[in-house]
Chain A
Amino acid sequence: MRGSLRRLWRSKSAVIGGSIVLAVVLGAVLAPVLTPDDPEAMEMTKRLEGPSWRHPMGTDQFGRDLFTRVVYGARISLSVALVAVALSVVLGVGLGLLSGYYGGTIDLLVQRLVDIFLAFPVLLLAIALVAALGSSPRNVVLALGLVGWTNYARVVRVDVLALKGREFVYAARVVGVPDHRIILRHILPNVLSPILVLATLGVGYAIVAEAGLSFLGLGVQPPAPSWGWTVAFGTRFLRDAPHLSTFPGLAIMVTVVGFNLLGDGLRDLFDPRSRQR
Chain B
Amino acid sequence: MLGYLARRLVLLAPVLLGITVGVFLLLHLIPGDPAVVLLGQDANPADIARLRRILGLDEPLIVQLGRYLGRVARGDLGDSIFQSQPVTTIVFGALPATVELALASLLVAVLLGVPLGVLAAVRQYSPYDYGTMLVAQVGVSMPVFWLGILAILLFSVQLGWLPTFGRGEGVPAAVEAGLTGEGWGALRDALRFLALPALTLGFSAAALISRMVRASVLEVLGQDFVRTARAKGLRERTVIVRHALRSAMIPVVTIVGLQFGYLLGGAIITETVFAWPGVGRLMITAIGQRDFPLVQGAVLILALLFSLVNLGVDLLYAWLNPQISYE
Which residues of chain A have a CB within 8 Å of any CB of chain B? 112-113, 115-116, 119-125, 127-129, 131-134, 204, 208, 211-212, 215-218, 228, 231-232, 234-235, 238-239, 242, 245-246, 249, 252-253, 256-257, 260-261, 274, 276-277
Give Cα A204–Cα B145 distance, bound, in whole angstroms: 16
Instruction: Write out the residue numbers on chain A whose beta carbons fall within 8 Å of the beta carbon of B310.
Output: 119
Instruction: Say yes or no for B307: interface residue by CB 8 A criterion.
Output: yes
Shortest distance between the CB of A132 and any CB in chain B (Å): 4
Instruction: Write out the residue numbers on chain A whose beta carbons fall within 8 Å of the beta carbon of B272.
Output: 215-216
Give Cα A252–Cα B150 distance, bound, in whole angstroms: 14
Q: Are B29 and A132 in contact (CB under 8 A)?
A: yes
Instruction: Say yes or no for B39: interface residue by CB 8 A criterion.
Output: no
> Is chain A's interface secondary structure helix, strand, loop, or mixed overall?
helix
Instruction: Annotate B122-159 by CB proximity to A: 1 below 8 A, 0 otherwise.
Output: 00000000000000011011111110011011000100
Shortest distance between the CB of A163 and any CB in chain B (Å): 25
Please name the residue on chain A nearest to B273 by beta carbon: A235
Instruction: Write out the residue numbers on chain B whose beta carbons fall within 8 Å of the beta carbon of A260.
Output: 137, 140-141
Contact of A215 with B303 at beta-carbon distance under 8 Å, contacts A123-B266, A131-B287, A257-B138 already known: no
Q: Are B269 and A123 in contact (CB under 8 A)?
A: yes
Q: Are B157 and A239 in contact (CB under 8 A)?
A: yes
Q: Are A253 and B145 in contact (CB under 8 A)?
A: no
Q: Are B18 and A218 in contact (CB under 8 A)?
A: no
Sampled A-B contacts (29; CB under 8 Å): A112-B15, A115-B15, A116-B14, A119-B303, A119-B307, A121-B265, A121-B302, A122-B265, A123-B265, A123-B269, A124-B268, A127-B284, A128-B295, A132-B26, A132-B30, A134-B30, A134-B31, A211-B143, A211-B145, A216-B272, A218-B287, A231-B145, A231-B146, A238-B157, A252-B142, A252-B146, A253-B141, A260-B140, A277-B219
Q: Which of B11, B29, B138 has the most chain A CB within a 10 Å cutoff? A: B29
Please name the residue on chain A nearest to B214 by beta carbon: A277
> Is chain B's interface secondary structure helix, strand, loop, or mixed overall?
helix
Q: Are A119 and B15 in contact (CB under 8 A)?
A: yes
Instruction: Write out the residue numbers on chain B whose beta carbons fall within 8 Å of the beta carbon of A204.
Output: 141
Instruction: Write out the residue numbers on chain B whose beta carbons fall within 8 Å of the beta carbon of A123.
Output: 265-266, 268-269
Give Cα A194–Cα B269 distance, bound, in whole angstroms: 30
Q: Are A249 and B143 in contact (CB under 8 A)?
A: yes
Instruction: Annotate B212-253 by CB proximity to A: 1 below 8 A, 0 otherwise.
Output: 001100110010000000000000000000000000000000
Contact of B31 among A133, A216, A228 (CB under 8 A): A133
Instruction: Write out the residue numbers on chain A whose beta carbons fall within 8 Å of the beta carbon of B15.
Output: 112, 115-116, 119
Q: Are A212 and B145 in contact (CB under 8 A)?
A: yes
Instruction: Write out the residue numbers on chain A whose beta carbons fall within 8 Å of the beta carbon of B145.
Output: 211-212, 215, 228, 231-232
Give Cα A216–Cα B283 distance, bound, in whole angstroms: 11
Q: Which of A125, A232, A246, A277 has the most chain B CB within a 10 Å cutoff? A: A277
Instruction: Write out the residue numbers on chain A whose beta carbons fall within 8 Å of the beta carbon of B16.
Output: 119
Give Cα A134–Cα B31 distance, bound, in whole angstroms: 8
Instruction: Write out the residue numbers on chain B whose beta carbons fall within 8 Å of the beta carbon of A125.
Output: 299
Shortest distance between the CB of B285 and any CB in chain A (Å): 11
Instruction: Say yes or no for B103: interface residue by CB 8 A criterion.
Output: no
Give Cα A211–Cα B141 distance, bound, in whole angstroms: 12
Give Cα A238–Cα B152 distance, bound, in whole angstroms: 9
Give Cα A261–Cα B137 distance, bound, in whole angstroms: 8
Give Cα A260–Cα B136 distance, bound, in whole angstroms: 11
Please name the residue on chain A nearest to B211 by beta carbon: A264
Instruction: Say yes or no for B288: interface residue by CB 8 A criterion.
Output: yes
Instruction: Say yes or no for B264: interface residue by CB 8 A criterion.
Output: yes
Contact of A242 with B153 at beta-carbon distance under 8 Å, contacts A116-B19, A119-B303, A127-B287 already known: yes
Instruction: Write out the residue numbers on chain A whose beta carbons fall within 8 Å of the beta carbon of B22.
Output: 116, 120
Contact of B27 among A132, A218, A232 (CB under 8 A): A132
Instruction: Say yes or no for B184: interface residue by CB 8 A criterion.
Output: no
